[in-house]
Structure 1
Amino acid sequence: MAILSGNVAYFAAAIVIGATVGLVGSAFHFGVDMLAQGWPTFLDTGMGLDGPALYVAAALVAAAMTLVSLWLVRRFAPEAAGSGVPEIEGAMEGLREVHWRRVLPVKFVGGLLALSSGMVLGREGPTIHIGASIAKAVSDLMGWTARDMRALLAAGGAAGLAAAFNAPLAAVLFVIEETRRQFPYSARTYIAVVLASVSSAIVTTSITGSVPFMLLVVPEVPMGMYPVFIVLGLLLGAVGVGFNRTLVWSLNTVRRIGLRWSFYIFPAVVGLIVGVLVFALPEATKGGEILAVTLAKEGRPLGILALIVVLRFTMTMASYSTGVTGGIFAPILALATTIGLCYGTAIDTVVALPDNGLQALAIAAMGGLFASTIGAPLVGVVLVMELTGSYGILVPVMLTTIFSNMIAQSLGGRPIYEILLDRTLALEAEATASPESPAKAPAPAVPTAPVA
């Protein structure tokens, strides 16, 4: 009877966590959308700026938003930098601590500013970290064991992913596949993850509607086209490994600049560039979810698509390396879509693709690049299905995704969140071992070591 009572309380807590995350996540997304549209409209229409004056004003606004976001992170919660997923995985493994009291406000406000500035960052990272922080707050309140607490961290993170993309099944699978090393499996903990994801999805859909987040329905494609999807997977496997290595190189390079000069110089430059691009070339800014759907429907020339690929790849590296709050899920999906369209358009110039073949390749590319960068092919397949609603091309998406993951592994690729967690731990150890480390002096109010 005591066990039953304990389970009821635990499951009830999971439902409350999920519903709360759905509410907070929806508020976060609404705020990002409003602010991201609001400040450019104000400069353009409200103030009537045009030409160079508009670009200068936009550059200054975006740079200011970026710098304030970074200041909040570095001053109050360094662990709130980046997506937050490595932090949650580290906490589930007992290697990191979730300081929810400072992470929650910094992740919300800092993420609001960073994403609204036009940075090429995703909103799923902040909502996952926010979700896990809410779960930690509930766990602390209830006084549960470390095992139960770690399971609730996963439940809160899954609820955050469900709120970000309206994809509850992919959120549950994310816990199973991505945190397979850390998640404490049992019937009790697994049910808690499912309940949190479902309750988050219910709240989210009641606010935003039940339409797929990136609706792009494509019917079946002929089986004779399947080899084209396999080759796409082979290409994306190599691209994913290159993406991860370039991201780490970018983080290390920017960190060296920060240690030598100032951690605010590079973010200020990126913010200025992003502000100009918001008006000059909006395709190179923001998370890119809407862009991905738009490009898949428009059929732009190969040269333009290739330019967008280069710009978005570069701006993703630059944006994430600033150290502000923001994820990489959405940028990866948008980049993948554009790569898939480039690939399909190139083929179509030689051999005509069937109807909707181009869109099918764009959708499959999402799963492929997700699998090679994040290292979770099953999540990639299900996430793409839930995001687009294109269940008719499940098999081609599976082919692209699994072959991409196979190539990434054969090239020595590792999941990006695993790499980022290892990097964070290494930097922390390096700071502790340094003669000038804060550990050798009175401890500051908050940790100041740079975190990926």
Structure 2
Amino acid sequence: MGNGGYHVVAALVGAAVGVLGSAFHLSVEGLMTGWPAFLRDTLQLSGPGLYVAGGLAAAAMTVVALWLVRAFAPEASGSGVPEIEGAMEGLREVRWHRVLPVKFVGGVLSLGSGLVLGREGPTIHIGASVAKAAADLSRLSGTDMRGLLAAGGAAGLAAAFNAPLAAVLFVIEETRRQFPYSSRTYIGVVLASLASAIVTEYLTGNVPYMALPVSQMPYGALPAFIGLGVVLGAVGVAFNRTLVWSLDHVRRLGQRRSFYIFPAVVGLIVGVLVFALPEATQGGELLAVHLAKEAPGLALLAFIVLLRFVMTMASYSTGVAGGIFAPILALATTVGLLYGSALETMVMLPADTLTAFAIAAMGGLFAATIGAPLVGMVLVMELTGAYAVLVPVMLTAIFANMVAQWLGGRPIYEILLERTLAIEAEARAAEANAAAAR
């Protein structure tokens, strides 16, 4: 296939992903607002009855979401980004005919239940699955197929956050070891991201998803953003290690008893929190904006940081389809506000500094956990529209990344891919030993 044909396919993939990504977003929002309203307004439940019904509803959605994954497409568990990176390395197979329906329906159920998960992972996986389907239909293989997978994944990220530039950079920076870079594949990624963004804007509007107005920071405040980066570097390493620890412990629990017990319990808790403490549920993008504008007190911020951290670990460890971008951004916002509020008790801060800390923290924690500081910087700019604080964001992100590396941290998706491959190797060895024993 010539360059023109390949680029047409990439653009069509991007447009299709824009449609599917928008449908996924709207479906999640519809379910997340629909079932609580049904229990509270239509059935007119309140008090303990409402909490019990909410817990049972969220638990049921979580268990069904996990059943879909385990029964039909185990690789649809989690965000899907490690799967795409593995496929681009030739280590994983994208079974698009299974992943597409399971990731979409299972993702709607898991995110719509209120679990602390993001929609960007599923849309990236959906995008790459659409790309694999297009590659099969076009009989593309090798470098062209791998390039198209990257284009589909980028289109998924563009659809999730309406951030086409960050989507392109995500491929260049995050998948730098796997992406078959050439002018042909690079242009394909750009075209797919653009097509997805255009379709997404047409269907859902062209306003920064987490718009936060903020004024420019004086130069004297810049050292404080370096300090924030240092803090976030440590938080990012702790986040990654705790996430892997949680996944391993929940897996061992499932092997001893049932893989559905823990997700059911988490679902029950989340269903209650949807009504009792909604700040502890969902991806948290809107919560991040609310907190940045309201800036609650130190004690409440510390409580929200702890609660969001725990619920993110619990939600991702269930094994359902869902990403960690959005929970990372919400957690980062809260950490940034906590840092700024603590600093404000000691020194006088310029106007809008707390909001600037919240914005910069998003880029910083992204850089520390994902290991892609440039993507973090640009993604935050596209999400918030806060270009006035670009320099503070860059300082925070790069220092967070430097500290994370100094502490021995590694990109979370790289760790998760290695973990998946190790588990599969262990399973194959166990099957071989069992066969030999027979």
Instruction: Decide: shared fold, TM above 0.5.
Output: yes
Which amino acid in 1 is paired with 2:242?
Answer: T
Give the Cα–Cα distance (whole angstroms) in 1 for the partners of residues 129 and 183 of structure 2: 23
Superposition pairs of residues 351-370 of structure 1, within 5 angstroms? 351-370=347-366
Give the Cα–Cα distance (whole angstroms) in 1 for the partners of residues 191 and 431 of structure 2: 48
Which amino acid in 2 is paired with 1:147?
Answer: T
Deviations 1:107-147 (A, max 9, x none): 00000000000000000000000000000000000111211
Which amino acid in 1 is paired with 2:424?
Answer: E
Partner of 1:293: 289
- Pick one of 197, 201, 226 that aligns with 1:201: 197
Q: Does 1:230 align with 2:236?
A: no
Distance 1:309 1:438, change over 3 A: farther
Superposition pairs of residues 50-449 of structure 1, within 5 angstroms? 50-435=46-431
Deviations 1:80-103 (A, max 9, x none): 000000000000000000000000
Deviations 1:175-230 (A, max 9, x none): 00000000001000000000000000000000111100100021201110000000
Q: Is the 8 A contact 1:431 1:437 kept in 2?
A: no
Q: For residue 438 of structure 1, report the CA deviation from its aligned partner.
A: 9.0
Give the Cα–Cα distance (whole angstroms) in 2 for the partners of residues 439 and 104 of structure 1: 34
Q: For residue 240 of structure 1, report the CA deviation from its aligned partner.
A: 0.2
Q: For residue 6 of structure 1, report the CA deviation from its aligned partner.
A: 1.1
Q: Secondary structure at the match of 1:401?
A: helix
Which amino acid in 2 is paired with 1:428?
Answer: E
Deviations 1:382-419 (A, max 9, x none): 00000000001100000000000000001110000000
Q: Does 1:12 align with 2:14?
A: no
Which amino acid in 2 is paired with 1:123?
Answer: R
Q: Does 1:44 align with 2:40?
A: yes
Give the Cα–Cα distance (whole angstroms) in 2 for the partners of residues 401 and 181 of structure 1: 21
Q: For residue 352 of structure 1, report the CA deviation from its aligned partner.
A: 2.0
Give the Cα–Cα distance (whole angstroms) in 1 for the partners of residues 93 and 55 of structure 2: 36
Give the Cα–Cα distance (whole angstroms) in 1 for the partners of residues 414 and 314 of structure 2: 20
Deviations 1:243-285 (A, max 9, x none): 0000000000000000000100100000000000000100000
Question: Structure 1 stretch 145-154 or stretch 71-80: which is displaced more?
Answer: 145-154
Deviations 1:22-46 (A, max 9, x none): 0000000000000000000010011
Give the Cα–Cα distance (whole angstroms) in 2 for the partners of residues 265 and 211 of structure 1: 41
Give the Cα–Cα distance (whole angstroms) in 2 for the partners of residues 323 and 178 of structure 1: 23
Q: Secondary structure at the match of 2:333?
A: helix
Q: For residue 353 of structure 1, report the CA deviation from its aligned partner.
A: 1.3
Q: For residue 373 of structure 1, report the CA deviation from its aligned partner.
A: 0.1
- Tell me how large the CA RMSD over aligned residues is: 1.1
Q: Is the 8 A contact 1:432 1:439 kept in 2?
A: no
Q: Secondary structure at the match of 2:2?
A: helix
Identity %: 73
Which amino acid in 2 is paired with 1:96?
Answer: R
Question: Structure 1 stretch 346-355 or stretch 133-142: which is displaced more?
Answer: 346-355
Give the Cα–Cα distance (whole angstroms) in 2 for the partners of residues 48 and 354 of structure 1: 47
Q: For residue 349 of structure 1, report the CA deviation from its aligned partner.
A: 1.5
Which amino acid in 2 is paired with 1:314?
Answer: V
Which amino acid in 1 is paired with 2:386?
Answer: S
Deviations 1:141-183 (A, max 9, x none): 0111211000000000000000000000000000000000000
Q: For residue 299 of structure 1, report the CA deviation from its aligned partner.
A: 1.8
Q: Is the 8 A contact 1:432 1:438 kept in 2?
A: no
Give the Cα–Cα distance (whole angstroms) in 2 for the partners of residues 15 and 375 of structure 1: 28
Q: For residue 350 of structure 1, report the CA deviation from its aligned partner.
A: 1.7
* Displacement over 2 Å in runs of 4+: 435-441
TM-score, normalised on structure 2?
A: 0.99
Q: For residue 440 of structure 1, report the CA deviation from its aligned partner.
A: 7.7
Distance 1:153 1:222, change over 3 A: same
Which amino acid in 2 is paired with 1:37?
Answer: T
Q: Is the 8 A contact 1:119 1:319 kept in 2?
A: yes
Q: Secondary structure at the match of 1:434?
A: helix
Give the Cα–Cα distance (whole angstroms) in 2 for the partners of residues 61 and 217 of structure 1: 37
Q: Is the 8 A contact 1:221 1:357 kept in 2?
A: yes
